[in-house]
């Protein structure tokens, strides 16, 4: 991934989020890390376009976001839409899962990630 200027505040926040993962993030990271999912390279808490993506596969320009219940309240759903739209504008595909999906059906989440990559016309 090309090096871009990332604000010290954003970099520090990403580092904190890597250190303080939610239980669902830790479970999914266990499947994504070290090329475990069909050899795909994912990074976690990666700053992209002023946002911090939960998980990102740069090769396929795929971002995986995990959402807790706070993403269903207040202005957060609208902010998520703006964020997704901005990331799509710069060529990324964003897929979202509820934390509960990861906790109850981790294999299904991984299968869906692979299906999205295949839908983009990529081999995995």
User: One digit per residue, pLDDT tens: the chain, 124 residues?
Assistant: 445 688 888 888 788 888 989 999 999 999 999 999 999 999 999 999 999 999 999 999 999 999 985 645 566 567 888 999 999 999 999 999 999 999 999 999 999 999 999 999 888 7
| Rounded CA separation 61/45 (Å) | 15
Q: What is the structure's pLDDT at 77?
A: 65
Q: How much is the CA Rg of the chain, to the nearest whole Å?
A: 14
Domain 8-119 - what CATH class? alpha beta
Give pTM, 2 decimals. 0.87
Delimit the domains of the chain by residue range. 8-119
pLDDT at 37: 96
């Amino acid at each position: 991934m090309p090096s871009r200027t990332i604000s010290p505040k954003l970099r520090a926040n990403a580092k904190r989020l890597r250190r303080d993962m939610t239980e669902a993030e830790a479970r999914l990271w266990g499947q994504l890390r070290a090329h475990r999912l069909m050899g795909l390279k994912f990074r976690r808490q990666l700053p992209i376009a002023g946002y911090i993506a939960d998980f990102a596969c740069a090769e396929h320009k795929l971002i995986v976001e995990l959402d807790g219940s706070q993403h269903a309240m207040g202005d957060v759903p609208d902010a998520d839409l703006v964020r997704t739209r901005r990331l799509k504008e710069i060529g990324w595909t964003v897929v979202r899962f509820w934390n509960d999906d990861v906790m109850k059906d981790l294999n299904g989440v991984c299968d869906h990630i692979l299906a999205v990559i295949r839908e983009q016309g990529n081999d995995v």
